[in-house]
Amino acid sequence: MAGDAVIVPLQAHVYALRSMPQLEAAVALAHRIHARLVIGGIVCTFVDRRTKLSQVVEQQIRLRYGKIVFKTVIPTSTRLAEAPAAGALAYAALAHEVEARYAH
């Protein structure tokens, strides 16, 4: 309740997308107590551009949630798990995008 916005990491998987209404309901419930609280952004995670499923789910996320979905995605790959520095680049890009969105 200390913040005004929630940033949602959403895996590019069907079951994660299907669970979003539950998260939205939780935020709506909290919104009753903290009127400024909103979903401020959604970041697609575990995106594997090599698979059709991941691409389709990311597209569905972007269609359903529009502008609140960050352009930056957090990819998944074996190389990423083996080399954390590679993942740091995606998170750095996300940090810049969050800063640009919320800079006042």
Q: What is the CATH number of the domain that holds 58?
A: 3.40.50.300
> For residue 74, what is the DSSP state?
E
The total number of structural domains in the chain stands at 1
The per-residue pLDDT for 8 is 97
Residue 67 is predicted with a pLDDT of 96
- Structural domain span for residue 45: 5-102
Q: Is 40 helix (H, G, I), strand (E, B) or coil?
A: strand
From CA 14, how far away is CA 90, in angstroms rounded?
A: 22
pTM of the predicted model as reported, rounded to 2 decimal places? 0.86
Judged on CB neighbours under 10 Å (0-12, 13-18, 19+), 89 is exposed
pLDDT tens digit sequence for 46-62: 999 889 999 999 999 99
